[in-house]
Amino acid sequence: MQSAPSSWPRSLSEELRYLHWDGYPLTSLPSNFRPQNLVEINLSCSKVNQLWRGDQNLVNLKDVNLSNCEHITFMPDLSKARNLERLNLQFCTSLVKFPSSVQHLDKLVDLDLRGCKRLINLPSRFNSSFLETLNLSGCSNIKKCPETARKLTYLNLNETAVEELPQSIGEQSGLVALNLKNCKHLVNLPENIYLLKSLLVADFSGCSSISRLPDFSRNIRYLYLNGTAIEELPSSIGGLRELIYLDLVGCNLLKNLPSAVSKLGCLKKLDLSGCSSITEFPKVSNTIKELYLNGTAIREIPSSIECLFDLAELHLRNCKQFEILPSGICKLRKLERLNLSGCVQFRNFPEVLEPMVCLRYPYLEQTSITELPSPIGNLMGLACLEVGNCKYLKDIECLGDLQMPERCVDLDCLRKLNLDGCCLSEVPDSLGLLPSLEVLDLSGNNFQTIPISINKLFELQYLGLRNCMRLQSLPELPPRLSKLDADNCERLHYLVSSSSTVVEGNIFDFIFTNCSRSRWFNQILAYSLLKFRLYTKRLYHQLPDVPEGACSFCLPADAIPEWFSHQSWGSTVTFQLSSHWANSQFLGFSLCAVIAFYRVSYGLQVKCTYHFRNEHGDSHDLYCYLHGWYDEKQIDSTHILVGFDPCVVAKEDYMFNEYSEVSVEFQLEDINGNLLALDKVYECGVRLLYEDGIHPFDLIMPGSSRFHHLDRDGLEARFQAKRARFQANRGEDSSIMRRTYELLDFKLHFKRFRLPRRVGGSYVQASASSFYLLGDVSPEWFSHQSWGSIVTFQLSSYRDSSEFLGFCLCAVIASYSFNFELKVKCTYHFRNEHGDSHDLYCYLHEKFGERRIYSDLIFVGFDPCLVAKEKDMFSEYSEVSIEFQPVETIGNFNSLLLDRYQVVECGVRLLHAERAMLPDSDDWGNGFDDVTHKLLF
């Protein structure tokens, strides 16, 4: 026995009757303990591997609970525990040997061995005439079910290896529940199972070897047969007059149901989901309440469905052959849910001739309907209308009926409207007449504007606008909006401002990923700050309906707005706190992180940890979460995530005023709390917010929605600042370099440039080739770099023209946006020591297709410059200046685009075959330094 701390008892009294110690830390009970008076022992989740040694007098023991004792491998002899009633060994995962003496304990009532996965053998019979519960669920090595006396009421053999049930099972007249879920080796059920007159629940789901069913007692109420191999139900199924629930999910071999099913007068729920061979609508009793036919091959519903007076739910999701819904569906006065989503052949919803008061949830996504159910006013109880991805939906004119003054029916109960992907070119004004609407999804449509009436949706909390490529502006937003997702609205550039009288303070998350980078973001920032300010007022007044939480929004940008008074490179910013900083005017922290995304994000949240410290070395940590999104988004450029944290605890607890310094750390996580390795925070900022000190936001280039050129001083300052960032955060440098080299590796191989792999290759082409990637810094690999559009450098005196491959060129280009295509003219100005000169030029050309890009671009190109290779005169030049100029083609002419684009950085590297060959793609696994070395031409 291991040594114990002095606070633990070294002995137990022989008078002890009740011992309960969850997580008991020792491997056994004290060796001098005599349990003759013990009535109950509970050591669940403990470290014991044996209770005691030797033969013990256990005459008074009634209850043993060793559940979740993962270290116990065997049980002591229990032959003298003649009064034992309950033995709980569930999830004793190391238990191998079970004491045979237990079979003779004739007062045993409950035996629980659930999850004892290493247990192999059990006694062939338990003799206790009082045994009511036997649970062997998860004992995956048990192949034979022990026999028991006739008083058993609950038998659980789920996920065991049993191959058959004993014939004596028919003698268990008191058995109420028989569970054999996922018994893959069970082939047949005994014919005498119908003798189980008390059986109410029989679960054979997942018994994939069972292909035939015996007769059951007519008293059974719940029958689970999902995942079995049955091909038909016996006609005797109609005798189960008490059956409430019949589960046949995933019975792929099951043909159409027998007509006897209609005799099941108590049947409330029938689930045939995934029974892909079912082609006919089942004949069921008119007492049925829930009918699941998802994924079946049913083509139509008969008109007789109107006789199913009690039907509340009808599900036909993903029935690919389904076409016809009868008009009699309107007569189902109790129908609440109708799910036709994924029924791609379904085109026409029948006219709603009668009021359907109870139909609250019609699901029509991914159907081929051309119009909404009409007259929609007859769906008086409508709470949720799902018509997402109905690509043939021509219009939603029926919603216009809500504007008619004579209308006598309102959709006052409608809380969710999903019109995602319906190819709508216009949003009707009538949406503003849905007073209870909380969720509105208009994503993936073709409209350019949203009607101002949307601000009348006072209950709206979620507005989905993802992939609305043509959307240009947003109206005044609804006052209680808490979630706005406008991902990939690339033309969005304007938001109508809102006053405090039409904005309500609440927690919010606004997403503008992959949108334009124009001035209108200042409006979003100002709107968010106003909303947060009103929220903190409500929060600090301790209204009972106001939860505490952080607010945030995300938008494209590559720098922290200057408004954030404390900024730093990397993911942590540290600054001093003034005395009494958390005073009555304190509203919270405003937080900002510049995030470099790596192409795809599968959900994002940012954990912001505050490390408070005082001058005495005391510290205290707090944290909050800025919630980004939960779905997958394609993002390959830098964005900023701005958050507002009310940090109520700092305001309420006076001790926080004693802290004089705080470090705020930003960590990127997925929605499960796992750190994200590829995406990085490379700048961050914080500002303390006070009631009397709120100022408008501004981005790097405030005051205009047009692109602005930087002067020479501005270009140089930007260039030096970017270099300083890389020196401060080398991990980010490596990440950008690796992405650049991956693209270079792909582009510079013969598939794109036809470069030779060795001297004398024949694949060099005369024209320049190029590619682009999002970014704002030229990779360090380019050995000659400069801010601005011209880079000048000296040429070495020795240049073997046979080894010269050409120039690798790089230009960082800034613009308001990039449309369709862009050319960059690269002019070489060669000079020698005598003052002679010669100019050459090439073009780097890239097409963007339909995509608009609102980020700085890095153009990388290769120019073989064959004329320099072929004419010896070029070897006499000792200096070259290379000038980069954006141009556009009009007819046969190229015109400069200096007003719309600016080259802010440029770089060049001469490529020589003698120094190194291009690395193979496999070399990228050898480490960053190895790859960098191999790319040094």
Distance CA 381, CA 358 (A): 5
Q: Are 360 and 415 in contact (CB under 8 A)?
A: no
Of 46-55, 67-76, 142-151, 384-393, give the lowest mean pLDDT range.
Answer: 46-55
Among 1-15, 372-386, 727-741, the range of highest mean pLDDT: 372-386
Can you list the alpha helix ranges (DSSP code H) found in 326-467? none
Nearest alpha carbon to residue 297 among 235, 248, 252: 252
Distance CA 132, CA 177 (A): 11
With 0-12 / 13-18 / 19 or more C-beta atoms within 10 angstroms meaning exposed / middle / buried, residue 88 is buried
Reported as a single tens digit per residue, the pLDDT across 726-784 is 454 444 444 445 554 554 455 444 433 444 333 343 333 456 778 777 677 787 788 89
pLDDT at 711 over 50: yes
The one-letter amino acid code at 190 reads P
Nearest alpha carbon to residue 789 among 896, 703, 649: 896
Nearest alpha carbon to residue 470 among 498, 500, 452, 448: 448
> Which residue is associated with the tokens 């997958």?
632
Nearest alpha carbon to residue 863 among 751, 748, 738: 748
What is residue 764's predicted lDDT score, i.e. its pLDDT?
A: 37
Q: What is the DSSP string of 843-894?
A: EEEEEEEEEEE-S-EEEEEEE--HHHHH-GGGGG--EEEEEEEEEEEETTEE
Q: How far separated are the first and last CA of the chain, in Å rounded? A: 69
For 872, phi then psi, to 5°, come to -65, -25
Compute the average pLDDT of residues 796-818: 76
Distance CA 344, CA 365 (A): 9
Cβ neighbours for 203, distance < 8 A, ≥ 6 positions apart: 158, 177, 178, 179, 180, 181, 222, 224
Rg (alpha carbons) of the chain, rounded to whole number: 37
Reported as a single tens digit per residue, the pLDDT across 156-209 is 999 999 999 988 899 999 999 999 999 999 999 999 999 999 999 999 999 999
Reported as a single tens digit per residue, the pLDDT across 293-328 is 999 999 999 999 999 999 999 999 999 999 999 999
Question: What 3-state DSSP class applies to 526?
Answer: helix
Distance CA 51, CA 17 (A): 16
Distance CA 11, CA 13 (A): 7
What is residue 30's predicted lDDT score, i.e. its pLDDT?
A: 85
What is residue 9's predicted lDDT score, i.e. its pLDDT?
A: 61
Cβ neighbours for 270, distance < 8 A, ≥ 6 positions apart: 246, 248, 261, 282, 284, 288, 290, 291, 292
Nearest alpha carbon to residue 904 among 642, 678, 679, 700: 700
* Ramachandran sector of residue 788 (left: φ over 0; alpha: ψ -120 to 50; beta: rest): left
Of 33-47, 348-362, 491-505, 864-878, give the lowest mean pLDDT range.
Answer: 491-505
Nearest alpha carbon to residue 783 among 791, 774, 775, 772: 791
Cβ neighbours for 45, distance < 8 A, ≥ 6 positions apart: 22, 23, 67, 68, 69
For 820, phi then psi, to 5°, come to 65, -65
Q: Are 642 and 530 in contact (CB under 8 A)?
A: no
Reported as a single tens digit per residue, the pLDDT across 881-933 is 999 998 876 555 556 665 678 888 999 998 876 553 444 434 333 433 343 33
Higher per-residue confidence, 204 vs 813:
204
**Given the DSSP bridges, would you call strands 566-569 and 680-690 parallel, antiparallel or unpaired?**
antiparallel
Q: What is the DSSP string of 312-367?
A: -EEE-TT-TT--B--GGGGG-TT--EEE-TT-TT---PPP--S--SS--EEE-TT-
Q: Of all residues in the chain, what percent carry a pLDDT higher than 90?
A: 50
Cβ neighbours for 6, distance < 8 A, ≥ 6 positions apart: none
Distance CA 762, CA 807 (A): 18
Cβ neighbours for 717, distance < 8 A, ≥ 6 positions apart: none
Mean confidence (pLDDT) of the chain:
83
Cβ neighbours for 124, distance < 8 A, ≥ 6 positions apart: 144, 146, 147
Distance CA 592, CA 608 (A): 10
Angle (CA) 507 510 512, round 5°: 170
Distance CA 296, CA 248 (A): 12
**Given the DSSP bridges, would you call strands 879-890 and 893-896 parallel, antiparallel or unpaired?**
antiparallel
- The number of CA neighbours under 13 Å toward the Cβ of 550 is 24
| pLDDT interval class at 517 (50, 70, 90) | low
What is residue 720's predicted lDDT score, i.e. its pLDDT?
A: 61
- Give Cα 282 distance to the centre of its chain: 38
Of 215-224, 849-858, 882-891, give the lowest mean pLDDT range.
Answer: 849-858
Distance CA 789, CA 786 (A): 8
Compute the average pLDDT of residues 483-500: 83
Nearest alpha carbon to residue 860 among 816, 824, 889: 824
Cβ neighbours for 483, distance < 8 A, ≥ 6 positions apart: 461, 462, 463, 508, 509, 510
Reported as a single tens digit per residue, the pLDDT across 626-648 is 988 888 888 877 889 999 999 98
Can you list the alpha helix ranges (DSSP code H) found in 646-686? 648-652
Distance CA 181, CA 291 (A): 23
Instruction: Set out the domains of the chain in order of their start, with CATH numbers.
Output: 12-162 (3.80.10.10), 556-690 (2.60.120), 712-934 (no CATH)
Distance CA 366, CA 343 (A): 7
What is residue 935's predicted lDDT score, i.e. its pLDDT?
A: 39
The three-state (H, E, C) secondary structure of 830-854, written as one string: EECCCCCEEEEEEEEEEEEEEEEEC
**Given the DSSP bridges, would you call strands 586-596 and 638-645 parallel, antiparallel or unpaired?**
antiparallel
Distance CA 490, CA 138 (A): 54
Cβ neighbours for 779, distance < 8 A, ≥ 6 positions apart: 736, 737, 740, 741, 810, 858, 907
Distance CA 527, CA 524 (A): 5
* Ramachandran sector of residue 905 (left: φ over 0; alpha: ψ -120 to 50; beta: rest): beta
Distance CA 336, CA 373 (A): 15
Reported as a single tens digit per residue, the pLDDT across 452-468 is 999 999 999 999 999 99
In terms of C-beta distances under 8 Å and separation of at least 24 residues, what long-range contacts does 161-164 make, across chains too? 161/185, 162/186, 163/187, 164/188, 164/190
Q: Are 200 and 222 in contact (CB under 8 A)?
A: yes
Of 94-98, 362-366, 696-700, 751-755, give the lowest mean pLDDT range.
Answer: 751-755
Compute the average pLDDT of residues 648-673: 91
Count the Cβ atoms, other than its own, within 10 Å of residue 149: 18
Q: Say what the pTM is.
A: 0.74
> Which residue is associated with the tokens 């960053």?
928
Token pair for 438: 């909380």
> Which residue is associated with the tokens 């945030």?
552
* Ramachandran sector of residue 120 (left: φ over 0; alpha: ψ -120 to 50; beta: rest): alpha
Can you list the alpha helix ranges (DSSP code H) found in 791-855? none
